[in-house]
Structure 1
């Protein structure tokens, strides 16, 4: 049984870009409302089922105490795109490796329909916590996955991905994670799964690096077949949170760094050229930094979804709102500024952790949860400012139709 859960009236808009594509944007609310000790975060959505007309969104509780301090994974679904079920905890994860002090949580979960197995395959990050180590309890990480079977309505237990010792160019794979990474499914049912890991450097520091793994998925277990070369950057926290797509005969990988966003290309989906900084076609740096970007690819073109500086959004944490979609010139590897469209508006809060999922080449769904810094509580002096702009810890679903 489905319940309407804080559903607001849908907002529709229509925009045209200079390439002749018409984008119709429909904005819906999945959940809205503030809670005392947590915010909803990491809201990622997929379509599922034979006709791709049913939607599922996963979301995590993030506690207001501490940094990246997550609770259990929840999910909500809809059969009609309008009335969403009440958020329900994934029970197979509720008691996973928990004790009073140490536990593990599955979060940064990216759900995507796997057509060959007819299951929703959810990949993400396993956070290992020492709950007494506040305000930052994280002490390790791993790459994990669960599945959801829409026929039996059952979730699988959490599984941990196993990788070879090294990437194809010899870097040791240490503390891998699939958190917030958009994968690509091949026609034979295999998956290309982007992974971030920690790489050691001669100066004694460890920074994030990335690679893509080609995997088999039989409906229950992911088995790694091969891994590609590591993509590295020896500055800041490295280069990470990779997401992949394919357009025509080329694979594209978009990646996060502290100071900017980058893109790399591949012909086989495994081995990638050196990454280049995302820019507009007029030469300006895109301005997305310290957050993720994701893809939509269809017969209308290659599209990037992102946040950036320079949108009257200096008041937003790391400029993580609004969410933009724009077409990419695949030859130049640059974003066309004349095609830029706001697909989820800014209301004083960040939208930077989000998902995209393309449906049958004609539309895409984008999901995100708006949230503010954990120290900006109802009692803080900063809260009235963001509340005035509309912030209400809303989980948005934007449906973009291409014509």
Structure 2
């Protein structure tokens, strides 16, 4: 199975850019983007400046991702698709852009006063869109289709007295159809605005100047959707045309390993470990989630690549070794939140997770939890039956596990393994770091360190540990914020500190995991957060961001933040980190296909393009990461 580069096909949110904005003076090569459309693309009007336009904002956002970008806006007020075709050669193709966004329909579908039909009929609109796409592709230019944003609640009625969105919806459905059938990336603004209005009760009028044209807030919302889709497209173009900024410490390449959504289940917890070789092999583990329940997991599967991700085996379920088991009283136990990592001392790939128990296929409220583990056999490509870590017979470890955690393997072979735990009936989880031995077969408890606690929400849990320049850093999840602690030996930790930016304001990560990415030159945190126009994502769990940590102050440097995995309407959060070699570190994740209630299941034909994908976001270091296998 060959990997696919992350290119947003039909129903994948995203589009483009800005008015003629001066190129970066330091750029040697730039990706040239043209935005083609009507007055909504033009953007500038009373109440909206050039700098506030979505085009200018997207250019700024893409440049912040380490890319050299030039954007030219050729939007004209009142324009229709037939008029766009007349000027396409001179205004667009002759400028030799790499990518063009196309957004039309508001004027095509409008019914003027004393008229009974739209300015252009549906069939002409569809045919014109197809011709625009075809001519751009013939000229070797990447087209990106975009639906128009919805009218606000107080929009002017058309000549038939209809609400503007009634007829516009028909035209936007044709735009989606053309994108799907021509395999053209799509930014579905109309669908997004509709979701925000109906699902989250936003007032669209507040996003416009006049019920039609987006105001500065609306421009920000358009830009956020556009950036998410354009980012992987422009990253690929930057690789091809050498258009990365010269001082960028890394490039990002997002690969799609699998895709295809059945509306019933989805892949979760995709994480990978390497097996040393020439090149290193990568073993990916993941499991299926039942969408009608909450955290209802099934047997672990794996995939393998022996050519650094160029090709992959198909997902293989390990039902006997890594599947569910029956216990007394009709209780079912499964292993989940699994994370494989190479254990150098034993020469084994060791995966560690924890257990979950079900009654009538629902997670038990009061349940025992254990750390679980399994060992991979490289010759047979099978796993040992998952086993449980024996913990001290103390009441506080009744519910304890190492799910979704990063561990540190010491040179001696001992493992520093963070866990979270609570006694039966306790309100708050606590976190500690275990010291364990591993002989290639069995994981054994040796000791544990400081017990960190916080009497807030459910306490602290889902910790991840890393070692950088002789110190140990621990990040912890809490319901309302993320926290961090530091240690000299990986066992005795100081007080926990809330994750903040350098100015002391909260980072905005909450109620989900954060993990570490190490490089010789900097320690990075990977996280999700509020404040990124991502309220349509459950718990703001997308996109995935990465930024450098000021290890002296234990704060995150805002100026280094970049998007590692752009969002597409699904939630991320349960991701993994894999140090593949000195040149690459991977961030792995999948489309978790559940959203806000009351209808929690993301539909197959959704406005954002979520499609049960498994991703590998490859961080390609500019400078080799020589200590990659020593942390």
TM-score, normalisation: structure 2: 0.58
Match of 1:76 among 303, 321, 324: 303
Could you say what secondary structure the match of 2:369 adopts? strand
Match of 2:377 among 135, 143, 149: 149
Aligned counterparts, 1:10-21, within 5 A: 11=232, 12=235
- Residue number in structure 2 paired with 1:177: 401
Aligned counterparts, 1:118-267, within 5 A: 118-131=347-360, 134=362, 139-165=367-393, 172-199=396-423, 205-267=426-488
Give me the whole-angstrom Cα distance separating, in 1, the residues matched to 2:375 and 2:467.
24
Q: 1:199 to 1:103 in 2, by over 3 A?
A: closer
Q: C-alpha deviations, 1:355-403, integer Å up to 9, x for none?
A: 11223443211111111327879xx698469822111111110110221
Give me the whole-angstrom Cα distance separating, in 2, the residues matched to 1:333 and 1:48.
33
RMSD: 2.6
- Residue number in structure 1 paired with 2:317: 89
Larger radius of gyration: 2
- Residue number in structure 2 paired with 1:387: 606
Does residue 113 in structure 1 map to residue 342 in structure 2?
yes
Cα shift at 1:82: 1.9
Match of 1:40 among 258, 263, 267: 267
- Residue number in structure 1 paired with 2:580: 359
Give me the whole-angstrom Cα distance separating, in 2, the residues matched to 1:150 and 1:92.
15
Q: Provide structure 1 residue ranges, at least 5 long, that are not aligned to the other structure.
A: none
Give me the whole-angstrom Cα distance separating, in 2, the residues matched to 1:365 and 1:381.
29
Does residue 346 in structure 1 map to residue 346 in structure 2?
no
Give yes or no for contact 1:192–1:269 (8 Å, CA) kept in 2: yes
Give yes or no for contact 2:266–2:591 (8 Å, CA) kept in 1: no
Deviates more, 1:142-151 or 1:99-108: 99-108
Could you say what secondary structure the match of 1:124 adopts? strand
Could you say what secondary structure the match of 1:140 adopts? coil
Higher strand share: 1
Give yes or no for contact 2:263–2:603 (8 Å, CA) kept in 1: no
Match of 1:104 among 333, 337, 342: 333
Q: 1:157 to 1:283 in 2, by over 3 A?
A: same
Q: Provide structure 2 residue ranges, at least 5 long, that are not aligned to the other structure.
A: 8-231, 623-631
Give yes or no for contact 2:259–2:611 (8 Å, CA) kept in 1: yes
Deviates more, 1:356-365 or 1:77-86: 356-365
Give me the whole-angstrom Cα distance separating, in 2, the residues matched to 1:256 and 1:247.
20
Higher helix share: 2
Give me the whole-angstrom Cα distance separating, in 2, the residues matched to 1:288 and 1:24.
24
Give yes or no for contact 1:125–1:141 (8 Å, CA) kept in 2: yes
TM-score, normalisation: structure 1: 0.89
Give me the whole-angstrom Cα distance separating, in 2, the residues matched to 1:251 and 1:136.
34
Q: 1:270 to 1:191 in 2, by over 3 A?
A: same
Bigger RCO of structures 1 and 2 (CA < 8 A, at least 6 apart):
1
Give me the whole-angstrom Cα distance separating, in 1, the residues matched to 2:402 and 2:601.
34
Deviates more, 1:278-287 or 1:249-258: 278-287
Give me the whole-angstrom Cα distance separating, in 1, the residues matched to 2:605 and 2:562.
23
Give me the whole-angstrom Cα distance separating, in 1, the residues matched to 2:303 and 2:533.
33
Aligned counterparts, 1:244-323, within 5 A: 244-323=465-544
Match of 1:334 among 555, 558, 563: 555
Q: C-alpha deviations, 1:215-260, integer Å up to 9, x for none?
A: 1111111111111121111111110000000110110000000000
Q: C-alpha deviations, 1:26-71, integer Å up to 9, x for none?
A: 1001111112431111111222223462211111111122211111
Give me the whole-angstrom Cα distance separating, in 1, the residues matched to 2:372 and 2:480.
28
Give yes or no for contact 1:68–1:136 (8 Å, CA) kept in 2: no
- Residue number in structure 2 paired with 1:55: 282
Give yes or no for contact 1:180–1:241 (8 Å, CA) kept in 2: yes
Match of 1:325 among 519, 535, 546: 546
Aligned residues: 389
Give yes or no for contact 1:147–1:156 (8 Å, CA) kept in 2: yes
Give me the whole-angstrom Cα distance separating, in 2, the residues matched to 1:361 and 1:8.
22
Deviates more, 1:393-402 or 1:367-376: 367-376
Could you say what secondary structure the match of 1:387 adopts? coil
Cα shift at 1:187: 1.4
